[in-house]
Every structure is written in structure tokens, then in C-alpha cells.
Amino acid sequence: FLRMFSAEQAVQFFEANEKSRPLTIRTNSLKARRASLMQALNARKVQVDPVGPWTKVGLKVYDAQVPVGATPEYLGGHYMIQSASSFVPVMALAPQQDETILDMAAAPGGKTTYIGQLMKNTGTLFANDLRKERCKALVANCHRLGLTNVVTTCMDGKKLMGVMPKLDRVLLDAPCSGSGIIARDPSVKVKRGAKDFEENSRLQKELLAVAIDMVDAGSKTGGYIVYSTCSVSVEENEAVIDHALRTRPVELVSFSSSVNFGVEGLTKYREKRFHPSLALTRRYYPHVHNMDGFFVAKLKKISNKNPERARKDRSKMADHIQVWGEEHWTPEMMESVVDFPEPGAEEAAGMDAAGKAKASGKPMNKRDRKKIKRQQILTTRAASTTTVGAAAIAAGACAAAEAGGKRKEPPTASEGAAAPKKGKGKKAKAGGEALAEAKATSSKKRRRAA
């Protein structure tokens, strides 16, 4: 995190993870309206307020005299206890009625039931999860909230390709390290490390590849995949999306029409360089948005045919970085004397190297080409200045000689520089006489005309 944030932002991030945030619930629009639910909960001495203008179903619970998960409204399926950041992936997916949609990692059912209520119990919604014990909570929540279009499966997400039909949309809330929900699960601070980020990244790349393959690019209303994690690590987020862009026929699309806030995804991180379109992804931080850390990306499938080979990763990564460790601190190195070049010697050496590279025909870098171009400009400028100066001196000397009538050949440079001074008075006198003669001629013409 110290590599991802500045020192000030890192401190704010750590402090935000130590603070508890208000509990949030989502109104089930299939059974209730948010205004009526607020009145019912206020009557039970549960203080609630809307989460914000960006959602029409979210409520924040500030104070409750009764357990929020045991009220008659909860048992009747009028609302679901769900974090505010979990609303964003479903809003980005924007499910439509009569579509075929899959939630690949569905348990315990918060996002699945939100998709179902947006579909208004039409179409088909597949809800899959790997663990059988978690599927029990998924099925129970679907029944409690009144969803009738859900088909629950308990399978490995990597093996769904031959089982599912062609889908219009897929939501993949991938398994992750949970580095964005430390406030809810403090054990993440001691259970997870950099090694877990890399292991999760490999699994997430495989799941996302399967999710893309199951989507029908020719869908009239869909063809979209939403990838999300509750992590803020780059390895689990931008690196996974960048890999998908290189190996599958997909492109990133904006979902700002559904969710108009969030921090842009990273296009570069330390030595890593990602596709520029990753700026369309969104990050959500605890210290910025007062919600769990989350990452959301929306992909559009443009073809059902996968590329024969992946696009080459041209980022240097960490191969060019040399770490100078203590193993290099040998006695010979420590006792050696370092010679520093004199001022101006580096530029001359650079020019010599550039000239040699040009003569040998080897490719030069941008710096060498700039040096050669500048040297050519300076040489041309100096030559033109010298030529113009010599020509001016010679012309002045010739004019002085003609005026004085003493010399017919152009003098030397030293003599020519002083020659114009001797003929200066004569030239001025000749100019005055010519001016007087012109005035007299013009006055005669006026008299004749009168």
C-alpha cells in the first residue's frame, strides 16, 4: 500500500480500515418501496437514511434498538443486508428483462438477488458457487426475497463452459484476498500477503477467460462481462483485465451512465504498463468514498472467435531493474576509486558516441539523434555567420575604395573595417548636394505649371 499511495493517503487508508462504517441494507423492490421501508423501520426505532443520490435502493442504518437481521421486514424479504460497494457491480452490469445471465460466484446471494429484482423475475438467472455450504444461504435468500427465475448450481467455475447455454451477461465477483474489507475482517492484515495476490491472480485470469467464452457476442441486448473484486491490489485487478484484453476479443466500456463516481483505474504502476483503456475501470477506496475497497471493470465482447495467439506484452516489467544488494559489496569494490569526468566531457563523449553509431549504421536512441541534430544546427549557424560577416566586410571595403578613388582591389579585413570611416564625410556631402538639386528641380516644375 505504501507503493500504491502517497504517504499521506496511505495513513488515511490505514486509519479508514480501523474505523467501523454504518451498516447498509438494500431495498427489495419486488416486495417493498424504500420510502415505506424507512417508515416501517423508523417505527421499530431503527434510524435509517438513504446511502446517497447514486442509488435508489440503498439505506444506511445508524442506530437500531432491535437486530436488523431479525425484524419482520427482514424475514418477509423486504430488504437484504449488503455493503454499499456491492451495489456497484450490479449497477454496472445493468441487467435487462428476459435475458440469460450468470453470476459465477454468487453466494451468499446479495448481488444475485439484486440482479433478479432488476430483471423483475423474467428471463433466466444462473447462480453458481463452488462451496455447497454457501449455496444453502444462497438458496435461502432467493426464497426469502421472492425470486422465481433463479437456477442455482454448485460447480467449479472453470468447468461451466460446457454446461451453460450462451449468455447475454456475466457477473464475476472473483475470489480475492479481501484487502479492501479489512474494516469488516481485520484478520486479513495477518492472513494475506504478496504471495496470495499472485496466487489469486492466476485463478482470477482463468475464471475471467471462462466467463468471456460463455458470453454471446451476437446478443442483441447484452454481450457484457463485469469483473469485480473486494481488493485494492493491482495484481488482482488491473493485471487481470490487461491479460484478458490481450488474450480474448473484448474491450473495456464505460459504465459512468449507471455509476458516476469512483477513482479511475491505473494504467501504470511502478514498472508495469497496462492498456490505456484501463482508465475506464473504477476503484473505490475506504478513505475516499467511505465504503469497502472495491474494483469494477465492464467488458464488451466483440467477437465469438478467440485470437490465435495473445497480443505481445511489450511492457518491460521488472527485467530491466538491477538490484544492487550487499552481495556486491566486495572489498575490491569498496576500496576502488571512482573517477568523475570534467564538466563538458560527458557531452563531448556523447557526441563522439553518436557520431560513431551513425557511421557504423547502428540504430541510435532519441538522445543521440537530438545531439546530432543540435550539433548540425550549430555548425550551420556558425558557418553562415562567418560567411555573411566576411562578405559584408569585403563589400564595405570595395565601396570605400570606389568613393576615395585610391584603391581598386578589395583591402584586407583589418583595413576594410576602417576604410568606410574615411569616405563617410564625402558620401554625406554627395548625398546633400543631390537632395538640394532635387528640390530645385521640383520648384522649377511648379513655377512652370503656375
Catalytic positions are: 230
- Are 214 and 207 a contacting pair, CB within 8 Å? no
Sign of CA dihedral 25, 26, 30, 33: positive
Which residue(s) pair with 48 in the sheet?
61
> Grid coordinates representing 423?
569616405
165: left (phi over 0), alpha (psi -120 to 50) or beta: beta
- Are 135 and 144 a contacting pair, CB within 8 Å? no
Alpha-carbon distance values, 115 to 96, 169, 276, 297 (Å): 9, 11, 30, 17
Residue among 55, 105, 101 nearest 221 (CA): 101
Cα–Cα distance measured from residue 131 to residue 133, given in angstroms and rounded to the nearest whole number: 6
Kindly calculate the radius of gyration of the chain based on its CA atoms and give it in whole angstroms: 39
Residue among 273, 215, 207, 280 nearest 244 (CA): 207
Cα angle vertex 381, ends 380, 383, to 5°?
Answer: 65
> Grid coordinates representing 192?
494475506
Which residue(s) pair with 167 in the sheet?
215
Cα–Cα distance measured from residue 177 to residue 158, given in angstroms and rounded to the nearest whole number: 19
